A = this chain, B = another copy of it.
Amino acid sequence: MAGNTFGTIFCVSTFGESHGEAVGCIIDGCPAGLLLSVNDICVELDRRKPGGGGASTTRQEADKPEILSGVFEGKTLGTPITIVVRNQNQRSGDYSEIKNLYRPGHADWPWDVKSGFRDYRGGGRSSARETAGRVAAGAVAKVFLKTFGIRIHAWTQAVAGIEAPEWGDASFDFDEIEKNSLRVPHKETAENIMIKVDEARKQGDSLGGILSCRVEGLPPGLGMPVFAKLDALLAGAILSIGACKGIEFGAGFDAGKMSGSRNNDAILPGAGSSRWEMPENVPDASFQKNDAGGVLGGISTGAPLEFRAAFKPIPSISMPQNTINKQGDVRIIEVKGRHDVCVCPRAVPVVEAMTALVLADLVLLSRGDRV
């Protein structure tokens, strides 16, 4: 397993440093015959773009993907799909002063230890810019999953401890998510969080948060026990996003406080509405509640897949911090530049993309489940 390659059949490699020529991806294993246009990718890359005055960086990014291979006459060929996004407007000068200083909370120093040197311009491969390749690949996975009726939605659940209503709460407002720059599913919560965000920006500080993700239309039976369980693959996928520090499925950490009689989801007869072929002699089922988060023993249950992921505050802050330089001397660093205050809204399409990559691979792997 090479570190920049993900998946078994629907196999994605991403590439690119933040201030190199380009970022992008190759998708090796997308089935032939899928209708795909460059616009499908633009839509997702645009969602990753910084908003207009919200929690995100004010840098202008015009991400125009180019499909170099794998699509012919509007359909995938079954050959590798290569998508390239050129880097623009990097203003490398912003970063020249940190060439010799290790930024706290960043991978600068571990990367130097690992590789002997690094691309110091804006984080290089460790920059959030890297996720553009993931989002482009995830866009293709989403198109594939849509043909099965599988829909993935993530949103900002909380920032700096201010929590939005949860899915299922009366005040949860799905349509609000893409309306506010924080991607919070509740207008007032979004406004309250924005006050915190503005304060942090003025202080040169940043804020952490929690994302929720929900997948509907997922058939039961996806996931490959024991190591490629659905939740195991998702955990690996989501934790591979730069600032992510934790994940929980369904009741998650709260399940650690529960009794079995409280946590187990009772089984009921199913609605029989599945679009997927069920094996003979196996009845359809449904669940009284969904503390499992849609996964049991690493296999999808047909209930909605639900998880939450914790994102740390963006480590690039302009407040003074202690660090060392390349010579090992003690120094004070103030990280300048146009940085996001909270990664959450821009992490939403990235979480969706990684989820899509896992699911597209499992949908294809599941074709080998039975004789």
Complex-state Cα separation, A253 to B244, whole angstroms: 9
Further pairs besides A15-B28, A367-B368: 5, Cβ < 8 Å: A20-B69, A113-B278, A144-B371, A247-B248, A268-B330
Complex copy number for this chain: 4
Instruction: Name the distance in Å between A365's Cβ and chain B's nearest Cβ.
Output: 7
A63 at the binding interface (Cβ < 8 Å)? no
Q: Are B20 and A324 in contact (CB under 8 A)?
A: no
Which B residues touch A42, using CB under 8 A?
Answer: none
CB pairs A–B below 8 angstroms (27 shown): A2-B8, A10-B368, A15-B68, A16-B69, A32-B116, A33-B116, A104-B264, A105-B264, A110-B220, A114-B366, A159-B256, A161-B256, A200-B259, A235-B236, A245-B248, A246-B253, A253-B310, A254-B310, A255-B311, A255-B313, A260-B314, A264-B315, A264-B317, A267-B322, A268-B330, A283-B326, A364-B368
Answer whether A245 and B240 are a contact pair too, CB < 8 Å, given A117-B32, A317-B260: no
Nearest-neighbor residue (CB-CB) of A25 within chain B: B26
Query: With contacts A260-B105, A266-B104 known, is A15 near B297, CB below 8 A?
Result: no
Q: Does A102 count as interface, using CB distance less than 8 angstroms? A: yes
Which B residues lie within 8 Å of A24 (CB)? 68, 82
For residue A113, which residues in chain B have a CB less than 8 angstroms away from its CB?
220-221, 278-279, 282, 299, 302
Cα-based distance from A231 to B61 in the complex (angstroms) = 29
- C-alpha gap A225/B112 in the complex (Å): 13
Complex Cα gap A31–B366 (Å): 10
Q: Closest approach, in angstroms, between the C-beta of A280 and any C-beta of chain B? A: 7
Give residues 308-365 of A contacting B (CB, 8 Å). 310-317, 319, 321-330, 364-365
Given A235-B247, A330-B268, does the pair A369, B299 have CB atoms closer than 8 Å? no
Question: Counting CB contacts under 8 A, is A304 at the interface?
Answer: no
Nearest-neighbour CB distance to chain B for A36, whole angstroms, equals 10
Binds B, one of A49-57, A71-79, A184-192: A71-79
Is A4 an interface residue when CB atoms closer than 8 A count as contact?
yes
Within the assembled complex, what's the spacing in Å between the Cα atoms of A368 and B259?
Answer: 42
A350 to B1, CA, bound (A): 23
Query: In the complex the two chains form, is B268's CB within 8 Å of A29's CB?
Result: no
A227 to chain B, nearest CB (A): 4
Q: Within the assembled complex, what's the spacing in Å between the Cα atoms of A205 and B107? A: 45
Choice from B11, B78, B255, B283 contacting A327 with Cβ under 8 Å: B283
- Contacts A114-B221, A232-B236, A310-B256 given; indicate if A17 touches B69 (C-beta within 8 A): yes
- Does A229 belong to the interface (CB within 8 Å)? yes
Q: For residue A266, which residue of chain B has the nearest CB?
A: B322
Name A297's closest neighbour in chain B (CB-CB): B107
Q: A300 contacts the other chain (Cβ, under 8 Å)? A: yes
Residues of B within 8 Å of A37, CB to CB, are: none
Bound: A109/B365 CA distance, A: 19
Q: CB distance A239 to B235 under 8 Å? A: yes
Q: Does A43 contact B (CB under 8 A)?
A: no
